[in-house]
Structure 1
Amino acid sequence: MAAESKKYISQEKLSTHNKPGDLWISIQGKIYNVSDWANHHPGGELPLLSLAGQDVTDAFVAYHPGSAWQHLDQFFTGFHLEDYSVSEVSKDYRKLVNEFTKMGLFENSGHSVHFYLFLVAMLFTLSIYGVLCSDSGWVHLGSGVLMGFLWIQSGWLGHDSGHYQIIRSKKVNRFAQILTGNCLAGISIAWWKRNHNAHHISVNSLEFDPDLQHMPFFAVNSKLFSSLASYYYDRKMNFDAFTRFMVSYQHWTFYPVMCLARINLFAQSFLLLSSKRLRVKNRIQEIFGLLVFWIWYPLLVSYLPNWGERVMFVVASFSVTGIQHVQFCLNHFSSSVYVGTPAGNDWCENQTNGSLNIVCHPWMDWFHGGLQFQIEHHLFPRLPRGNLRKVAPLVKELCKKHKLLYTSVSFYKANELTVGTLRKAALQARDLASPVPKNLVWEAVHSVG
């Protein structure tokens, strides 16, 4: 009798509620109106905007602990989704989430965060000591290298803290975020969370995933040559003459650009925090943290004896951190991409198709910061990095059972695949720029690289 009194709407009707101010989603067949909640959502408004008008049960399960379910009733519309069903892969995925929860894997950090905080402190101290207490140019160069490794390790901590609480106390956890991100690395943790949440929800969507929107420098697929719209940056990604030129040589410029990629992160942090249009929680706190960085870092560089050593120090610190920027690209650049809105009910398929794992020994886990288990991380983003290796066999079993893609290669091979992807798109861009018949000289020149 109770079932007969339920009110239903079709998937077609639900899909019309997908605009700012009119955002409806389905979770386990119940329809929720999250239009007003979008401005208060801890993960930002972008995940809701990207998945609105769809069933988002798997994404909700992936990103929210069990305690979040009790808050859903306040958004319930009274409607249920017509013909709601759960795929076999989703059933097994949700079973794994429940098993991991019972095992306490989401609660246990799985790695010694205090050790990494101590490591960051030691790298910072040694780098400053080398600059202030030595007259040797080689020591100053080494101090720049140590600064780069400091930024890498602080980056892993920032990445972790953006997904789960790395320290039990919320206040101390927030302090650690601002300290390691804004103050020590010059990167706004608010920007990082906004960008990274959008990436996870819409992994490898050329229009929605900001981690694939790097024009004019890089285009991972020729579909970007159509000047697609970026729904993250809210602008058109123009494929003009300058972009075509840059993309044509992107497989050569990839590593040099990665050495300077940190400049873009600095710029994106300032753009977000200075934006009047975008909502930023704790904006003043975020800005203060960046100001701390832009006081101590230039001041430290100024203590070097001459401009040659100052430039050397900055280039060394930026270049070493470029290793991490390369790592960010390896997991996704060579994976399959698509154009359009991410699908909420194909969570497992989207995450596995768009991600690539790096094979490494356990003693090298510190180097990859958890990104070596990218598939596991994307399926279970709340899972602490120290537990990713533990669940990898179960994830492989899930993928094998449901014929999901599970790509795992060596670090060298991942670089090879990434450069190969960039080279393929580069040659396609050259074809667009050179529609005239090709001669043997053209073939010889453009077959290299």
Structure 2
Amino acid sequence: MDVAASYITSSDLRKHSTRDDAWISIDGAVYDVTEWLHRHPGGSLPLLTLAGRDATDAFLAFHPPSAALLLPRLSTNLRLRDHALSPASSDYRRLLSELSSAGLFERKGHTTVALLSVILPLLVLSVAGVVLSERASVHALSGALMGLAWIQSGWIGHDSGHYSVMRSPRVNRVVQILSGNVLAGISIGWWKWNHNAHHISCNSLDFDPDLQHLPFFVVSSSFFSSLTSRFYDRKLPFGSLARFLVSYQHWTFYPVMCFARLNLFAQSFLLLLSNRKVPHRALELLGLLFFWTWFPLLLSYLPSWPHRLLFVLVSFSVTGIQHVQFCLNHFSSKVYLGPPTGSDWVQIQTSGTLDVSCSSWMDWFHGGLQFQVEHHLFPRLPRCHLRSIAPLVKDLCQKHNLPYNSVSFWKANLLTIRTLRTAALQARDSSNPVPKNLLWEAVNTHG
């Protein structure tokens, strides 16, 4: 094959973007990942989302340097004729290399051990309050402690979805199953499947599952046309019920977040009982079985159904704080339609995320999400280093005129509610989902 024949253009590459014919480009070289889709540890969806495009920055962000050893076997022996590197991507890769050379991706600190040492006393106190007391106030406090334990276990699950939180892969898997499936009733496999897609296509209305919450919430009027979710591979219908619920979403946001765990429970079982490939499916199902054994058993020790309902409501409501936190970083940020494009991957990650400014002593509360821009640019970086690299990321953004949004926790809540209110009023303008009366006029006028 002559030199001229070994090159293709970006438009040629875009023709290979299906499940049966998936090519990607990394640093100008073209790779055929069609047969690798079902074997990819991160699932097939990230590869399919980037198929037909440059995937260099995403590949570097999500993989250790050793992953490059797998690339030669996928090579097509082709290169992109019009491959170009933007100044922002060049500096991003340089910073990534510097962080790697400094060993920051391997130094995880003692974050997970510290969290486990906090979760255990919370669980013990919660169980003791249920078993040893008959008072409703103690049972409410026990529910709150259980909710706090679930929040901290959620941070472990989030971290372990991006990197090994323990040195041994086997111990890491045990910690994942214990903190997610057994303790919280949430499949770590579902979390990784969902969260990987979110990171790859951050704030894409049709590709990012973290923005697809119909019929309860929308962040853009684009959902009014019943978008097709590329994550769920189905249409997201915007009918009369959705229009009614969305019309009040800025009022219902916090109450619904109190019960968001119910959706996570359901999604976990839907994935594990589906025909999708799920690593360690049996172990995950066993972990969920443990949760749905010990949690109902604990509730049975409460003296009456009102006390059981109180415990569940309080524990779910406290955990709802974490579900709110997951929304604050993205709901009010820039959104777009379609898959991410490789040439502006850094810009998409920075424009679609929002940092929450806080003192270092509040880092335990935010679990690393307060440095969302940093986390999205360097998802494998242990969260104990996010604060230290924040000035470097801010300098990178300023140099290339990229957005670096950072506000207080309360301002983040305000921006989120403002976004929801804007979409709610747009939904009301499209039709009148309920008969007008004095209450409707008051809400419709003042939002």
Structure 2 length-normalised TM? 0.97
CA distance in 2, matches of 1:19, 1:314: 45
Preserved contact between residue 110 and residue 385 of structure 1 (Cα < 8 Å): no
Give the match's secondary structure for 2:71: helix
Preserved contact between residue 20 and residue 49 of structure 1 (Cα < 8 Å): yes
Look up the match of 1:172: 171
Give the match's secondary structure for 1:80: strand
CA distance in 2, matches of 1:219, 1:358: 22
Look up the match of 1:285: 283
Runs of 5+ unmatched residues, structure 1: none
Look up the match of 1:81: 80
Q: Which amino acid aligns with 1:410?
A: S
Deviation at 1:4, TM superposition (A): 3.6
The match for 2:371 among 366, 370, 373 is 373
CA distance in 2, matches of 1:12, 1:267: 41
Write the mapping of 1:6-17 to structure 2, written as runs, cut at 5 A: 7-17=6-16
Is it true that 1:37 corresponds to 2:23 in the alignment? no
Look up the match of 2:216: 217
Q: Deviations over 1:6-37 (max 9, x none)?
A: 70111111101111121100001000000111
CA distance in 2, matches of 1:266, 1:154: 15
Look up the match of 2:313: 315
Preserved contact between residue 111 and residue 385 of structure 1 (Cα < 8 Å): no
Q: Which amino acid aligns with 1:373?
A: F
Q: How many residues align?
A: 445
Preserved contact between residue 11 and residue 81 of structure 1 (Cα < 8 Å): yes
CA distance in 1, matches of 2:219, 2:161: 26
Deviation at 1:5, TM superposition (A): 6.7
CA distance in 1, matches of 2:288, 2:265: 9
Preserved contact between residue 110 and residue 387 of structure 1 (Cα < 8 Å): no
CA distance in 1, matches of 2:427, 2:340: 26
Deviation at 1:377, TM superposition (A): 0.2
Q: Which amino acid aligns with 1:338?
A: Y
CA distance in 1, matches of 2:111, 2:31: 39
CA distance in 1, matches of 2:5, 2:337: 36
Q: Deviations over 1:336-355 (max 9, x none)?
A: 11111111221110001100
Look up the match of 1:362: 360
Q: Which amino acid aligns with 1:386?
A: C
Deviation at 1:444, TM superposition (A): 5.2
Preserved contact between residue 131 and residue 304 of structure 1 (Cα < 8 Å): yes
Q: Deviations over 1:310-342 (max 9, x none)?
A: 000000110000000000000000001111111
Write the mapping of 1:35-74 to structure 2, written as runs, cut at 5 A: 35-74=34-73
Give the match's secondary structure for 1:447: helix
Runs of 5+ unmatched residues, structure 2: none
Q: Deviations over 1:408-432 (max 9, x none)?
A: 0000000000000000000000000
Write the mapping of 1:24-423 to structure 2, written as runs, cut at 5 A: 24-276=23-275, 278-423=276-421
Preserved contact between residue 158 and residue 189 of structure 1 (Cα < 8 Å): yes
Preserved contact between residue 27 and residue 56 of structure 1 (Cα < 8 Å): yes
Q: Deviations over 1:32-69 (max 9, x none)?
A: 00011110111111100100000110000100111111
> RMSD of the TM alignment (CA)?
1.7
Give the match's secondary structure for 2:137: helix
Look up the match of 1:447: 445
CA distance in 2, matches of 1:6, 1:70: 25
CA distance in 2, matches of 1:343, 1:275: 30
Preserved contact between residue 377 and residue 383 of structure 1 (Cα < 8 Å): yes
CA distance in 2, matches of 1:371, 1:128: 29
Deviation at 1:113, TM superposition (A): 1.6
CA distance in 2, matches of 1:153, 1:439: 45
Measured at CA, do residues 304 and 354 of structure 1 come closer, stay the same or move farther in structure 2, by a change above 3 Å?
same
Deviation at 1:121, TM superposition (A): 1.2
Measured at CA, do residues 445 and 270 of structure 1 come closer, stay the same or move farther in structure 2, by a change above 3 Å?
closer
Q: Deviations over 1:252-277 (max 9, x none)?
A: 0000000000000000000000102x
Q: Which 4+ stretches in 1 moved above 3 angstroms?
A: 2-6, 438-445
Q: Which amino acid aligns with 1:155?
A: G
CA distance in 1, matches of 2:100, 2:330: 28
Give the match's secondary structure for 2:338: coil
Deviation at 1:447, TM superposition (A): 2.5
Q: Which amino acid aligns with 2:57?
A: D
Look up the match of 2:427: 429
Deviation at 1:136, TM superposition (A): 2.1
Give the match's secondary structure for 2:446: coil
Q: Which amino acid aligns with 2:189?
A: A
